[in-house]
């Protein structure tokens, strides 16, 4: 990843302003530790902090067209840049960077080229010929982007909120799949796939089509000039990514430089379920596996830093980001700059446990659409910012545009969870990689039931967080929460604790509005809470919270009152979860 910051029309083009922009751009340096650049044209500034993944030697940014009249600062990877270059035969390229195509595409196609890009990106482009500019963000919002407005009439764009929150009167998340054009003076959506309307698709499920689409998505993400690896939690999604990546690594360019053995990484409290599951998959695939351990204390000590980097007060996101944040530091210290990760699968295939209760295929499908549209506020934000905090880039093949189109055109009847015919969550994905002749994964892993990420790192992680918050947030504090935080009022001590940290770093109204809120049960949208009348009384963000769908939850139904939900199930039951999970498969 890289970090971008752009300011247009700020009236002031003094040295003091230049220094200020440099200072603000430095707040994004963790995203791009390798080099920085600043292009200043009259009252327009384009700043860049670079993480060099493709063409480390010459790809420093900002990038230009041939006569330097078009300037662009980009955070991202354009996987089809070679194909696009071939379409631009009359253009001369200065660097080997995959992002340079953007300047040239703009010359040929004007503002209408964004959908031609296959990849993840946020960019700002300045056309100095008429001083117009555009900014755009990838389809799903894999890369973060914020937009703001200054009192002096300036427009700001930044990869992270921290670079513009102090200097803008108002700011917001830049909506994914959108483009802002100074000529047209507004935002418009460039991403218009068929699934976006939430109509119910009817294409019958073809396992081989799904498999091929996903393999392609992984293979195109092997484009790199630096060492890389796979985040492997041992769950279905990351295991599939690792299996496909290790299968295709040998034929990739990266293998010629860095060897054909795949590196995999896993983090957990000592003895955690993820560590065990990942080790098993790594052994099966023969990867060079790295295990990292953290203690609850280390996680708690990192919370402030995590919230500063992730820029949210969403409880599940913070819980899950912390181990990922710690792991990214370790990964980076090994010299690895890029990792492939499994985010997005649960949204596309309805992998969360609450999908068990989807009343019908229509509701099921609409919920997956809503989940994908919200990804940029949750898992995309987590995956991008917790890795970028240490200059590691995360690539997410499940969020490939082509793959999403295929997966979201399947008749949702196939995605429905039906125990009666042996279909657990994400069955369409599991079945697509169920190859008896040349197995991607052993059957028991392929059909293993979901362990939510924050649980998988070790059950005492979330309990430790709650205990810590209980120690430092008093009942009196929580009882005033509605007055102190009228918007998205924290309802638990843990949420209150995170919120106070967030407000310390980002005290403005605009900042708290960038974070989603509303009722949710185990990662559901507010809409899906309606699926079960009992849920609205038991709102808890944890995946472990009883939904009445996990084997263990059925047994403990009687205890499902607020207190036990917050404190988590008793120790004995936790062992049960693991065992029972296995029997489900």
- Which residue ranges make up the site for another protein (CB under 8 A)? 15, 18-19, 22-23, 26, 33-35, 38, 52, 56, 227, 301, 304-305, 329-330, 332-335, 390, 471-472
Q: Least distance from C-beta 301 to another protein, angstroms?
A: 6
Contact 324, 380 (CB under 8 A): no
Alpha-carbon distance of 1 to 30, in angstroms, equals 9
**Helix extents (H) in 205-341:** 207-220, 236-249, 253-258, 273-285, 296-310, 315-333
Catalytic residue among 2, 266, 380, 523: 2
Q: In this complex, which beta carbon is closest to another protein, that of residue 28 or of residue 399?
A: 28
- Torsion over CA of 509, 512, 514 and 515, rounded to 10 degrees? -160
231 known member of a binding site: yes
Query: Whose structure tokens read 């899950």?
Result: 320
Contact 403, 217 (CB under 8 A): yes
Instruction: Report helix, strand or coil for 572.
Output: helix
Q: In this complex, which beta carbon is closest to another protein, that of residue 334 or of residue 584?
A: 334
Alpha-carbon distance of 30 to 28, in angstroms, equals 6
Tally of CA atoms within 13 A in the half-sphere of 580 that contains its CB: 14
Q: Least distance from C-beta 118 to another protein, angstroms?
A: 27
Q: In this complex, which beta carbon is closest to another protein, that of residue 302 or of residue 377?
A: 302
Task: Tell me, yes or no, if 99 is annotated catalytic.
Answer: no
**Helix extents (H) in 151-271:** 207-220, 236-249, 253-258
342 known member of a binding site: yes
DSSP 356: G
Q: In this complex, which beta carbon is closest to another protein, that of residue 66 or of residue 305?
A: 305
Q: Least distance from C-beta 174 to another protein, angstroms?
A: 26
Alpha-carbon distance of 570 to 564, in angstroms, equals 8
DSSP 435: -
Q: In this complex, which beta carbon is closest to another protein, that of residue 2 or of residue 441?
A: 2
Q: Least distance from C-beta 105 to another protein, angstroms?
A: 28
Q: Least distance from C-beta 57 to another protein, angstroms?
A: 10
Alpha-carbon distance of 79 to 84, in angstroms, equals 10
> What burial class does residue 178 get, using C-beta atoms within 10 Å of its C-beta: 0-12 exposed, 13-18 middle, 19+ buried?
buried
DSSP 392: -
Alpha-carbon distance of 505 to 500, in angstroms, equals 9
Q: Least distance from C-beta 426 to another protein, angstroms?
A: 35
Query: Cis ω on the peptide bond leading into residue 96 (within 30° of 0)?
Result: no
What distance lies between CA 98 and its chain's CA centroid? Answer: 21
Alpha-carbon distance of 198 to 367, in angstroms, equals 9
DSSP-assigned states of every residue in 45-108: EEEEEE---S-TTT--SSEE-TTS-EEEEEEEEETTHHHHHHH-TT---S---GGGHHHHHHHH
Would you list which residues are annotated within the binding site for L-glutamine? Answer: 98
Would you list which residues are annotated within the binding site for ATP? Answer: 231, 267, 341-342
- Catalytically annotated residues: 2
């Amino acid at each position: 990843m890289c970090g971008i910051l752009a300011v247009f029309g700020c009236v002031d083009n003094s040295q003091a302003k230049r220094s200020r922009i440099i200072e603000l751009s430095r707040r994004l340096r963790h995203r791009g530790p390798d080099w920085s650049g600043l292009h200043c044209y009259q009252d327009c500034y384009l700043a860049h902090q670079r993480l060099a993944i493709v063409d480390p030697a010459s790809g420093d940014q900002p990038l230009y067209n041939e006569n330097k009249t078009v300037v662009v600062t980009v955070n991202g990877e354009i996987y089809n840049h070679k194909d696009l270059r071939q379409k631009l035969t009359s253009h001369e390229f200065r660097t080997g960077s995959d992002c340079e195509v953007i300047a040239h595409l703009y010359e040929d196609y004007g503002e209408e080229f964004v959908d031609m890009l296959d990849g993840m990106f946020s960019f700002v482009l300045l056309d100095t010929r008429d001083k117009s500019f555009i900014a755009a963000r990838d389809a799903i919002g894999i890369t973060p982007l914020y937009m703001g407005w200054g009192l002096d009439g300036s427009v700001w764009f930044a990869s992270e909120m921290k670079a513009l929150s102090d200097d803008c009167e108002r700011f917001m998340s830049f909506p994914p799949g959108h483009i802002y054009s100074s000529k047209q003076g507004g935002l418009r959506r460039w991403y218009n796939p068929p699934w976006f309307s939430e109509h119910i698709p009817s294409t019958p499920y073809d396992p081989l089509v799904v498999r091929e689409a996903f393999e392609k998505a992984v293979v195109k993400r092997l484009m790199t000039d630096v060492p890389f690896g796979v985040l492997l939690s041992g769950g279905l999604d990351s295991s599939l990514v690792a299996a496909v990546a290790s299968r295709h690594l040998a034929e990739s360019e990266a293998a010629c430089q860095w060897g054909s053995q795949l590196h995999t990484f896993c983090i957990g409290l000592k003895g955690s379920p993820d560590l065990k599951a990942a080790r098993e998959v790594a052994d099966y695939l023969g990867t060079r596996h790295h295990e990292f351990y953290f203690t609850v204390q280390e996680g708690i000590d990192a919370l402030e830093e995590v919230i500063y980097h992730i820029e949210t007060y969403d409880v599940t996101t913070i819980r899950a980001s912390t181990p990922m944040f710690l792991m990214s530091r370790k990964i980076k210290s090994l010299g690895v700059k890029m990792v492939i990760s499994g985010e997005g699968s649960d949204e596309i295939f309805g992998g969360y446990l609450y999908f068990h209760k989807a009343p019908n295929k229509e509701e099921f499908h609409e919920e997956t659409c809503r989940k994908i549209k919200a990804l940029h506020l949750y898992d995309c934000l987590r995956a991008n910012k917790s890795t970028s905090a240490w200059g590691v880039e995360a690539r997410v093949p499940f969020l490939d545009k082509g793959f999403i189109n295929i997966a979201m055109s399947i008749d949702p009847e196939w995605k429905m969870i039906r125990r009666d015919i042996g279909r657990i969550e994400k069955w369409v994905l599991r079945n697509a990689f169920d190859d008896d002749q040349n197995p991607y994964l052993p059957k028991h892993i392929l059909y293993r039931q979901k362990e939510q990420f924050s649980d998988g790192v070790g059950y005492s992680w979330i309990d430790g967080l709650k205990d810590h918050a209980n120690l430092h947030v008093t009942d009196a504090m929580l009882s005033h929460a509605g007055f102190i935080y009228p918007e998205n009022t924290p309802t638990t001590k843990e949420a209150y604790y995170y919120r106070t940290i967030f407000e310390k770093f980002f005290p403005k109204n605009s900042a708290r509005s960038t974070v989603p809120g509303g009722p949710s049960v185990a990662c559901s949208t507010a809409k899906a809470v309606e699926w079960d009348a009992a849920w609205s009384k038991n709102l808890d963000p944890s995946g472990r919270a009883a939904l009445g769908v996990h084997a263990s939850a059925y047994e403990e139904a009687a205890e499902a009152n607020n207190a036990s939900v917050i404190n988590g199930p008793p120790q004995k039951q936790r062992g049960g979860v693991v065992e029972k999970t296995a029997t489900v498969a």
